[in-house]
Amino acid sequence: MRILQVNKFYYSHGGADKYFLNLTDALKKSGQTVAVFSMTHPKNLASEFKQYFVSQIEFNNASLSDKLKAPGRIIYSLEAKRKFKKLVNDFQPDIIHVHNIYHQISPSILDVAKRKRIPVIMHLHDYKLLCPNYQLFTQGQTCEACRPKKYGQCVRKKCFKESLAKSFLASSEMFIHHSLLKIYKKNITLFIAPSNFMKKKVVGFAWPADKVRVVVNPFSIDEETGKEQGIEKNKISTAEDYLLYFGRLSKEKGIETLIKAAALTKTKVKLAGTGPEELRLKEAAKITGARVDFLGFKNGPELRQIITKAKAVLIPSIWYENMPLSLLEALSLGKIVIAANIGGLPEIIHNGENGFLFEPQNIEDLKTKISLLDTLDEEKKQSIQKRAKESVAHLTPENNLKEILNIYQEILKNKK
């Protein structure tokens, strides 16, 4: 097959980009012919297709030039459409798989695919298809005020980066794309959702259920890397006396609930990550008297060592968490996970079996679950850890590739 993979970043900027890069590499190794379309950026990986990439634009700390170009790029980029058409004509793909194209690329490229009668799959890595600010979360709580297509609510709540101007642009983008042009509805053959919860939400926003397929994100630790780190495939590591949260320090992650619960249980907490809430969380730790170590950004072998030594990993989210890599990574390392009962998290965590669930933002419930850790005998603890590893054992890159290729083949078969 000739497959065209599309994503706005061609470097590891976040979880969606990592998935796009890993899938692109896996497809090549499986014998497929793969091209990529992305945005020019100094951090990009080397690519033989870089001459087709759309020009760089910055939305954070934007120059005056970028600010002037932003509306056109976000709504309908003629540059992206022109360069994408050139790549499609030269490469002649059988199928196109788009990931995150919002803002830096825009959906203008979808019209090219439609005219060429090339099927398009879109991977839903966030809630942007439904929500102007990507999150279905604003002002400290989950939000579905824009359903059905009431995008003006975004302006009223200033829910895009707390800016009236940016919220107006984001709501205009949604109105033009979904209500006026219907560009996604007309041009996407199939959507892929990483969790049943996301599919449920997409269908709940009036997208047809038969156009949404669930494929859970893969996760695995390279065996050689694992050996170097002392992580043996079937061995459960000895835990130290601390709870761990790793990831972005932002409001929707519910970390303040964790800090307050940890203060009540006198349990030490380590936070590995950075983000806009860091100063406020440090103040919360000081006020509550919680024992919190702020480790800063950690990744790779160093982060995995911190995970393996943790007593438990906490995911205290207060938004519709989809299928976070932090959850899959912790479980793959045989860690007990205490997670909020929200979004896609309960699809993997089954309370008392392979981890524990608590009611989001409920400090007392989380306190109870943390205290429960000390009452578990060694046999029960080992049983939960074993089931934790088993619960994600099937989520391998190999199985994910197989599912994706099956979807491609099914779509191409139906096209004939």
Give the pLDDT confidence score for residue 63 in this predicted structure.
86
Q: Which two tokens stand for residue 202?
A: 């997409």
In three state form, how does the secondary structure of 130-185 look?
A: CCCCCCCEECCEECCCCCCCCCHHHHHHCCCCCCHHHHHHHHHHHHHHHHHCCHHH
Are 308 and 410 found together in one domain?
no
Give the pLDDT confidence score for residue 403 in this predicted structure.
98
Are 316 and 353 found together in one domain?
yes
Domain presence at residue 273: yes
pTM: 0.91
pLDDT tens digits along 316-355: 999 999 999 899 999 999 999 999 999 999 999 999 999 9
Rounded Cα distance between 62 and 234, Å, is: 49
Other Cβ atoms closer than 10 A to 19: 21
Here the CATH number for the domain that contains residue 282 is 3.40.50.2000
Domain presence at residue 165: no
Give the pLDDT confidence score for residue 95 in this predicted structure.
98
Report the amino acid identity of residue 133: N
Are 235 and 213 found together in one domain?
no
Domain presence at residue 286: yes
314 secondary structure, DSSP code: E
For tokens 């398009």, name the residue: 120
Report the amino acid identity of residue 148: P
Rounded Cα distance between 110 and 116, Å, is: 10
Are 285 and 201 found together in one domain?
no
Give the pLDDT confidence score for residue 14 in this predicted structure.
84
Rounded Cα distance between 357 and 260, Å, is: 17
Are 235 and 365 found together in one domain?
yes
Give the pLDDT confidence score for residue 234 in this predicted structure.
47
Residue 292 CB-half CA count within 13 A:
30
| Number of separate domains in the chain | 2
Domain presence at residue 145: no
Rounded Cα distance between 337 and 348, Å, is: 10
Structural domain range at position 31: 2-125+189-218+396-415
Residues of the chain with confidence (pLDDT) below 70: 220-238, 416
Give the pLDDT confidence score for residue 30 in this predicted structure.
97
Give the pLDDT confidence score for residue 223 in this predicted structure.
45
Are 406 and 334 found together in one domain?
no
Are 365 and 406 found together in one domain?
no
Domain presence at residue 291: yes
Are 294 and 411 found together in one domain?
no
Rounded Cα distance between 317 and 326, Å, is: 12
pLDDT tens digits along 374-399: 999 999 999 999 999 999 999 999 99
Are 307 and 210 found together in one domain?
no
The region, left, alpha or beta by phi > 0 then psi within -120 to 50, assigned to residue 144 is alpha
Domain presence at residue 351: yes
Are 245 and 380 found together in one domain?
yes
Rounded Cα distance between 312 and 373, Å, is: 8
For tokens 């970028």, name the residue: 66
Rounded Cα distance between 39 and 7, Å, is: 8
Domain presence at residue 178: no
Are 403 and 302 found together in one domain?
no
Are 61 and 203 found together in one domain?
yes
Residue 325 CB-half CA count within 13 A:
16
